[in-house]
A and B are shown apart, each in its own frame.
Chain A
Amino acid sequence: MNTNKPPKRHNDISMELIVGTVALMILLALSYFTIVVGRQAFWRKTYPMEVYFDSVMGLRDGDNVVIRGMTVGKIRSLTLVSNEVLVVSDLSRMLQMHRDYRIRVVFTSVLGGRQLEVNEGSADSPMLPPDVRLHGNPPVDLIDDAAAMIKDVRSMLNEGGVASNISATAENLSTISGRLKRGEGTIGRLLVEDGMYVQLQGTMAEASNALAQIKIVTTKLSQGEGTLGKLLMDDRVYKDIEKTTANLRDLTDRVNAGEGTLGKLLAKDDSMYVNLLATSRSLSNITARVENGDGLLGKLISDETLATNVQQTIQELRAAIDDFRETSPVVSFSSFLFGTF
């Protein structure tokens, strides 16, 4: 037992406790932070994926691997292999690559940063065997693309006639502004002459009045005043019109179906029309003969003597009938009497 060492005081113990607690807490936080920042996955299984590229365009260890915008892993290593670059990445899930797969290095933003973008291919494309060697597409160089685009724009401006068109347009605009300035044309006069302005003001006032009238009419219409207003606002008118239309439609349907006289007249089968034509022709013929005084009816109309005779005959016949009526009871009684005996 070391007798030289004095016993620890309470203060020493509490000091040790505080220092140890703070240091341990900070160390624990440091460890957790290291794991989180390092995106380590000690407890998760990872699936390696090897891809060969002609160029990786600055892709680095630790860059993300994304599928359809979702991060599924990280780049583990990049190695130069003969004239290619072998990129090994650790993925959180096994990928099933199809024959039309696409793997490329893309920019994470316009400010820089890169990531590996994987497209597994379409589902209807045949699957690739698991041990197949995957090849990545050449990366897109934004600067090269921008240079090509600038070149295209420049050639379009110079060779495509855009520049000359712009120049011509500017010239036309200059001409138009000159004419306006000189007061030529309607707009120029409007700018320069006061009379035109006064006329325009009057026109505008008239237009304003017309608009006010239109407003009054529309107000009346909306209130259901007048025939048109009732037509617009009253449901009964609409229903009547609808009913009439339905009746008309029924009528036309029946006519179309050949029903009724009008339908038969308008029907494709023209037998009635032929009959009517023949009848009218016969009537015409009869009336012609009557006018010519042919036949009894014609003579009755044209010959007055015959008409008088006929009239006289009829009168005499009527008188004879009256006489017969008067004598008929006597005759009947005599017949009965003599018949009995």
Chain B
Amino acid sequence: MITREPVYLPPSDTRRAELGRDVLDLVCNCGRALLLLFSAIGCMRFAFQGRSRDRIVEQMFSSGIKSLGVISVVSMFTGMILALQTGIELRKFGQEVNIGAAVMVSLLREMGPFMTALILAASVGSSFAAQMGTMTVSEEIPALELMSIDPVKFLVMPRLIAMAIMTPLLSFYGCILGVIGGGIVGSTQLGVSWVSYIDNAMRFAENKDLYVGLLKAFLFGVIITVVSCHEGFATRQGAVGVGRATRRTVILSFLLILVVGYIVTRLFYI
């Protein structure tokens, strides 16, 4: 069974024993999450069979298209803030024309994937966790298993594929809007023309920046899905457990996004 039955253990005698139990629990959770990921990858061979394709499209719509609005606003303002902050400092040296490069490179490398992932973790990840958690506490997951429907294939795999596809696309979309926002600030408040802004941005941007950013976004999408589904399946104790699972999903997703973001940057840029 994918869901976890409540395990009642005697209270720990010492703090060291309690700490050891927490570490063991953490390792078990990591293992379960990875196994869930591998199971979902294994189920991808069924992606185009039956109604899986429809479920994938539905998840792409609900997690990707419905997030376009908030991602548009956040990305554009992120680009505007970046342009304004760097432009104010660069203006002291008469180098405000270089805001194009600063905005473009920072968005492609880090800010685009990072902001998109945070938005998706907070909106889509939490909804995944709440949905899975509710299904778990209302015994719907065991019911699916009883009906010989694989919950991973039915619930996790479409979400994983949808998020793995939509997060990089949304990240790139956010980068474009951020660059446009930076251009608006540059042309209206810093006296940098659109032509020189775009020329400067394109001169310093590299394909490596773009694709490393997309790789990060892909990994962030996978992390959000796995963490949210895992936490959903691990939900216990009714509505309180659902709320706790949602909160844990957002926190864990944020932490893992930061850590993985750093590791990928370290791998490709040093």
Interface residues, chain A, with chain B CB atoms under 8 Å away: 5, 8, 12, 15-16, 18-19, 22-23, 26-27, 29-30, 33-34, 36-38, 62
Interface centre among B50, B176, B207, B209, by most chain A C-beta atoms within 10 angstroms, is B207
Q: How far is it, in angstroms, between the C-alpha of A36 and the C-alpha of B207 when the chains are bound?
A: 9
> Of B31-39, B119-127, B165-173, B182-190, which binds chain A?
B165-173
Closest-by-CB residue of A relative to B108 is A37
Are the CB atoms of A37 and B210 closer together than 8 Å?
yes
Could you mark each residue 236-259 of chain B with 1 if its beta carbon is under 8 Å from any beta carbon of chain A, else 0?
Answer: 000000000000000000000000
* A15 interface neighbour in B51, B61, B165, B172, Cβ under 8 Å: B61
Are the CB atoms of A15 and B206 closer together than 8 Å?
no
Contacting residues, chain A, for B64 (C-beta < 8 A): 19, 22
What is the distance, in angstroms, from B109's C-beta to the closest C-beta of chain A?
A: 13
Are the CB atoms of A37 and B57 closer together than 8 Å?
no
Could you mark each residue 182-223 of chain B with 1 if its beta carbon is under 8 Å from any beta carbon of chain A, else 0?
Answer: 000000000000000000001001110110001000000000
Contacting residues, chain B, for A27 (C-beta < 8 A): 169
Q: How far is it, in angstroms, between the C-alpha of A30 and the C-alpha of B169 when the chains are bound?
A: 9
Q: How far is it, in angstroms, between the C-alpha of A36 and the C-alpha of B203 when the chains are bound?
A: 10
Q: How many residues from B make CB contacts under 8 Å with A?
A: 24
Are the CB atoms of B65 and A18 closer together than 8 Å?
yes
Q: Given A37-B210, A38-B207, A26 and B173 touching (CB < 8 A)?
A: yes
Are the CB atoms of A23 and B60 closer together than 8 Å?
yes
What is the distance, in angstroms, from A307's C-beta to the closest C-beta of chain B?
A: 116
Classify the interface of chain A: helix, strand, loop or mixed. Answer: helix
Are the CB atoms of A19 and B61 closer together than 8 Å?
yes
Q: Does B89 contact A (CB under 8 A)?
A: no
Are the CB atoms of A15 and B58 closer together than 8 Å?
yes
Are the CB atoms of A62 and B206 closer together than 8 Å?
yes
Q: Does B18 contact A (CB under 8 A)?
A: no
Q: Given A19-B65, A34-B210, A29 and B176 touching (CB < 8 A)?
A: yes
Q: Given A12-B54, A15-B61, A29-B176, A22 and B205 touching (CB < 8 A)?
A: no
Q: How far is it, in angstroms, between the C-alpha of A62 and the C-alpha of B169 when the chains are bound?
A: 26
Contacting residues, chain B, for A29 (C-beta < 8 A): 172-173, 176
Contacting residues, chain A, for B23 (C-beta < 8 A): none
Closest-by-CB residue of B relative to A4 is B50
Closest-by-CB residue of B relative to A20 is B57
Q: List 11 A-B contacts (CB under 8 A).
A: A12-B54, A12-B58, A15-B58, A16-B57, A19-B57, A19-B65, A23-B169, A26-B172, A29-B173, A33-B172, A38-B207
Q: How far is it, in angstroms, between the C-alpha of A19 and the C-alpha of B170 when the chains are bound?
A: 12
What is the distance, in angstroms, from A1's C-beta to the closest C-beta of chain B?
A: 15
Are the CB atoms of A26 and B169 closer together than 8 Å?
yes
What is the distance, in angstroms, from A40's C-beta to the closest C-beta of chain B?
A: 9
Are the CB atoms of B206 and A37 closer together than 8 Å?
yes
Q: Does B68 contact A (CB under 8 A)?
A: yes
* B68 interface neighbour in A22, A37, A38, Cβ under 8 Å: A22
Interface centre among A16, A30, A62, by most chain B C-beta atoms within 10 angstroms, is A30
Closest-by-CB residue of B relative to A6 is B51
What is the distance, in angstroms, from B68's C-beta to the closest C-beta of chain A?
A: 7
Q: Which of B44-74 contact A (CB under 8 A)?
A: 50-51, 54, 57-58, 60-61, 64-65, 68
Are the CB atoms of B169 and A33 closer together than 8 Å?
no
Contacting residues, chain A, for B51 (C-beta < 8 A): 5
What 16 additional pairs, Cβ within 8 angstroms, besides A5-B51, A19-B64? A12-B54, A16-B57, A18-B65, A19-B60, A22-B64, A22-B65, A22-B68, A23-B60, A26-B170, A29-B172, A29-B173, A30-B214, A33-B172, A33-B176, A34-B207, A37-B207
